[in-house]
Amino acid sequence: MWQYWVIFFIGLWVIIAPYLGFTYAGLASAMVITGIIVAILAIWGVIAYPKIGPNKSGGWPPPEDTDKKE
């Protein structure tokens, strides 16, 4: 889950970087649009997949079936 937050902050950085002088002026609008898209997708990931991660019900690999008897 923390990965989504890191991606969100990277998206914010891409949004504000052109205004801090880190890019050519012609690319500023493309960077802002890209940053907005990245930030929105990261927030969507946090909202849509809250249980992804180790030791949680939605994580990978799926829990082993403990009721299965051979």
User: Which tens digit of pLDDT belongs to each residue from 7-48?
Assistant: 999 999 999 998 888 878 788 889 999 999 999 999 998 888
Q: Is 0.75 surpassed by the pTM of this model?
A: no
- Environment class of residue 42 by beta-carbon count within 10 Å: exposed (0-12), middle (13-18) or buried (19+)? buried
Q: What's the pLDDT score for residue 46?
A: 85
Q: What are the residue ranges spanned by the domains of the chain?
A: 2-48
What is residue 68's predicted lDDT score, i.e. its pLDDT?
A: 59
pLDDT value at 57 more than 60: no
